[in-house]
Amino acid sequence: MRTAAVWLTALAVVTTLAAAAPRYAGQEHGRTETDQLDGKAAALERSSTTETERSAGEEAAQERSQAAETEQSGGKAATLKRSSTTETEQSAGETSIVIEPLPGQLPVRWFAGDYGRQPTVKDQGKYGTCWAITATSALEAALLPEQRMVFSADHLSRSNAFTADVADGGDYLMTLAYLSGWQGPVTEEEDPYGDEYSPPGLRAAIHVQEVQILERPELAQIKEAVRRYGSVQTSLYLNRTTTAADSLYYNETMSAYCVPEVHEPNHETLILGWDDHISRFCFRQTPDQDGAFICQNTWGTEFGDDGIFYVSYADANIGGTCLVYSGIEPADNYRAVYQTDDCGWQGRQGYDSDSCWFANVYTAAETEQLAAVGFYATGANASYEIYLVPEFSGAESFAERVFLQSGALEHVGYYTVRLEQPQRLTQGQRFAVAVRMTTPGVNNPVAVEYQADEYTENVVTSGKEGYLSRYGDLWQNTEASFGTNVCLKVYTM
């Protein structure tokens, strides 16, 4: 992956691109080009993680082999989005729909459908929406079997904050921005697929408050995540040619798929289970081990076994990066979200160090309580400290910050930290929330939004006020200095 580091000021803020997946269209290659932003003080690069994903996929396949042997929005000011239901206030622990891990050892076979957790099989048709269908299906699986909801891939692919056309494909950073900003999801009934129209003004049917990104996970990690959350979203190399009847990679009779060579992933799929006893001889090119993931494709029930197919543990491309939707809550969990980053994580900023302070300034729309803070962990095993500046009048106000709480995050992803002691805000109060983030081994840990390419042309910085600081003493305004918005949301009740 190419990165750019530019010394912008005496404080030496470095901006690099987010380590993100390429964009997927689902039939063939989606948007994976590397674009460079010109005309800025900093040379910000568009994501190009092809090499990272290739190596990650190859290493993941090798690790799975060893493990198998052992196991057998676009507003011009800081936006305020209100919950569709504001009357109900629930305490921590009452809103989560996350299923706890099951005890005992992992079985040799597990399939979500056996437990009423298989989501609706969908067909992307002529559109480049495998990424949107897979994401919405993963959300459905996470809610099952207690709740059966069918979410709209049409809304995710057409009503997000980006300027991408449906044919351009998408990536999981687009999904994270859409979900964390309460832009959706909406139900399939509200926005049906395939009519080339997405109604305006729809509200999110649920709120996604946490998405974990597992980088180069071991086989056991993928299995446990599937069993706990119902599914794992990931990517692989797959298209109409590689799944043709005469393909070297696909046994149509057995619905068995394996690509032993490393390729650039170009398709999103949903892992719904596994079977360690699937024979290696089911695959066209016989791998050196038994076992396969049980996956659901986005090509309708005509593909595979009613939409289900088996991907060998030996496939060189599946499972390099995996997403789990680990924090799904009702749409009345908070009264409002304050945010400045409709397009979400597009790059990272910092001071060429694995530790950095970042902050956003907001004005309370009414008398309410600051209940939670949301941000990205851009590296694994991150630690954070959260502070509040109750009365903000300028950068000097950060000296009056008040410590709220701290914690640690194991995986990369988007997280919402519910405050142990909510803070009262009065209407018109100008306040700031600051976070000190440390991501061991990953420099420049602050997720930022900026105009990275033609798909993020909607990003604006006017009316927004974010800050960075190396040590928490001297602060720089990101909009004025670098043309970036800090990805830091606050939730109120």
Q: How far apart are CA 128 and CA 171, in angstroms?
A: 11
Residues 6+ apart with CB under 8 A from 443: 14, 16, 350, 352, 353, 354
Right CATH for 61-76+96-325 from 1.10.3720.10, 3.30.420.80, 1.20.120.160, 3.90.70.10: 3.90.70.10
User: How do the domains of the chain map onto residue ranges?
Assistant: 61-76+96-325
**12 class by beta-carbon count within 10 Å (0-12 exposed, 13-18 middle, 19+ buried):** middle
Is the confidence at residue 184, as pLDDT, over 90?
A: yes
For 395-438, the pLDDT digits (tens) are 999 999 999 999 999 999 999 999 999 999 999 999 999 999 99
Q: What is the mean pLDDT of residues 6-22?
A: 44
For 283-293, the pLDDT digits (tens) are 999 999 999 99
| Predicted local confidence at residue 55, as pLDDT | 41
pLDDT band at 105 (very low <50, low <70, confident <90, very high): confident
State the number of CA atoms in the 13 A half-sphere of 113 facing the CB: 14
Residues 6+ apart with CB under 8 A from 104: none
* Type of residue at 297: N
pLDDT band at 270 (very low <50, low <70, confident <90, very high): very high
| Predicted local confidence at residue 111, as pLDDT | 98
**403 class by beta-carbon count within 10 Å (0-12 exposed, 13-18 middle, 19+ buried):** exposed
pTM of the model: 0.85
Q: Are strands 321-330 and 355-363 parallel, antiparallel or unpaired?
A: unpaired
CA distance readout (Å), 64 to 24, 31, 220, 316, 323: 24, 28, 8, 10, 17
Instruction: Return the DSSP state at 16.
Output: E
For 435-475, the pLDDT digits (tens) are 999 999 999 999 999 999 999 999 999 999 999 999 999 99
| Predicted local confidence at residue 301, as pLDDT | 97
**276 vs 70 pLDDT, higher one:** 276
For 363-389, the pLDDT digits (tens) are 999 999 999 999 999 999 999 999 999
> Which range is least confidently modeled, 24-33, 34-43, 137-146, 245-254?
34-43
CA 200 to chain CA centroid, Å, is 24
CB 331 within 8 A of CB 84: yes
**144 class by beta-carbon count within 10 Å (0-12 exposed, 13-18 middle, 19+ buried):** buried
Full DSSP string of 370-427: EEEEEEEE-STTEEEEEEEESS-SSGGGGGG-EEEEEEEESSEEEEEEEEEEEEEE-T
Is the confidence at residue 15, as pLDDT, over 90?
A: no
Q: How far apart are CA 457 and CA 263, in angstroms?
A: 30
**303 vs 46 pLDDT, higher one:** 303
